[in-house]
Amino acid sequence: MSLTPLFNTYPDNELMPVRALGSKVWDQAGRSYIDLAGGIAVCAMGHSHPQLISCLEEQAHKFWHLSNFYTADSTLNLARELTRATFADRVFFTNSGAEAVETAIKLARRYHYSRGSVDRTHVLCFTGAFHGRTMLCLALGDKQAHREGFGPFPSDIERLPFNDIQALQQGIDSRLAAVLIEPVQGENGVVAAQPAFLEALRQACTDCGALLIFDEVQSGNGRTGELFAYMNSGIEPDILVTAKGLANGLPIGAVMAREQVAACMTPGSHGSTFGGNPLACAVALRNLELIQSSAVRRNVAARSLQIAQQFKRMNSGVFSHLNLSGLWAGYVLSDAFRGRVGELVTLCQEQGVLVLPAGDGQVLRLAPALNITEQDLAQGLQAVEAACRQWDL
């Protein structure tokens, strides 16, 4: 028997947080930590941001929930901001990343159905992908361990090798409804799709009439330096899903599309009780304004450089190379340490820094707040370095 009545789905951790501010976390034992995990790329503006707290309080005193039978102004304003800032004309709000991915696949199939292509249901996805934990998302993701014992799964899904332009051609045919890809694979260790690959994908989808879906649940909301990762390459998807960093920790996800695609969703065709919750939307709007401010954008660029420079200086035998995209880093373990990142994550915590595992145990991932200070980042990276020295003995 475990010590808690919770499902045993998450590893035990003696760290029980009691308070967090900016990029610092304090636990029950009075210890403090530098947070370079950001709640898994969620807390874009750090913890207890005063402007986000006041947004939350303001909406909390108005109303919390009236259902999507009535449009809340905070929900509407967030949709306006997302469509202003991106390629999209319309938004559907969900509670999570997985629900947003599910909705995107429903949208793609319904789009073809509404145009009379009723057998156009096939979906392509990629090796190394992670899309969430619902049945459909497990079928779309590449992790066999996540699927074990949970089948059967939704079908008509095919997985192709990531970043392989040649292999792409085999998957494209007239039954293809959509291609789902993370422009940067987060759970796989911050592995970017090559621009030429995305370009080939965009062209193939356009040529055959399939919809290109970018899963920016993790790469979105300023993580890579642009508001969304697609803006780095300029290659636009037909549908974009996001979630994690959108409301700095309040549960929310979003599916965004052009009018021509979104139009197939008619009254009653889809819904979500909590999706677009007014509290989460009020916070998300202010959060997006902060993320897009020049101060935060400059900070992401400067702190990204700081990570790259510290990595060079550290010159540790623990790592083979660094994947870096904005304020999002994957330290790939060298062969001698393969698959053992869990040990390093624990050592880091003992050294006073919170970090994340990724890439099937071979990548140490950082996704700190986009407004982390130079000093906090330096302190956190020093602790990572100390943990590596301890491990490398």
**Residues near ligand PLP, by CB under 6 A:** 96-98, 101, 130-132, 182, 186-187, 215, 217-218, 243-244
Rounded to a whole number of angstroms, the minimum distance from the CB of residue 277 to ligand PLP is 14
Q: Between residues 52 and 101, which has the closer beta carbon with respect to ligand PLP? A: 101
Residue 95 has phi, psi (to 5 degrees) of -100, -20
Buried b (16+ CB within 10 A) or exposed e, 299-314: bbeebbebbeebbeeb
Residues 26 and 35: their CA atoms lie apart, in Å, by: 10
**Least Å from the CB of residue 62 to ligand PLP:** 26
Least Å distance between CB 53 and ligand PLP? Answer: 22
Smallest distance, ligand PLP to C-beta of residue 216, A: 7
**What does the chain come to in residues?**
393
Q: At what angle do helices 341-350 and 374-391 cross, to 10 degrees?
A: 120
The residue among 168 and 243 lying less far from ligand PLP, judged by its C-beta, is 243
Nearest Cα to Cα of residue 157 among 201, 108, 106, 123: 123
74: helix, strand or coil:
helix
The smaller minimum CB distance to ligand PLP, of residues 186 and 330, is found at 186
Minimum distance from CB of 336 to ligand PLP (Å)? Answer: 28
Q: Which residue, 101 or 291, has its beta carbon nearer to ligand PLP?
A: 101
Closer residue to ligand PLP (CB): 222 or 352: 222
User: Would you call 61 helix, strand, or coil by DSSP?
Assistant: helix
With CB atoms as reference, the residue minimizing the distance to ligand PLP is 97
Question: Of 105 and 387, which CB lies nearer to ligand PLP in the complex structure?
Answer: 105
Q: Do 142 and 128 touch, CB atoms closer than 8 A?
A: yes
- Least Cα distance to 333 among 350, 358, 313 occurs for 358
Residue 13, burial from CB neighbour count under 10 angstroms (0-12, 13-18, 19+): exposed
Question: Least Å distance between CB 331 and ligand PLP?
Answer: 18
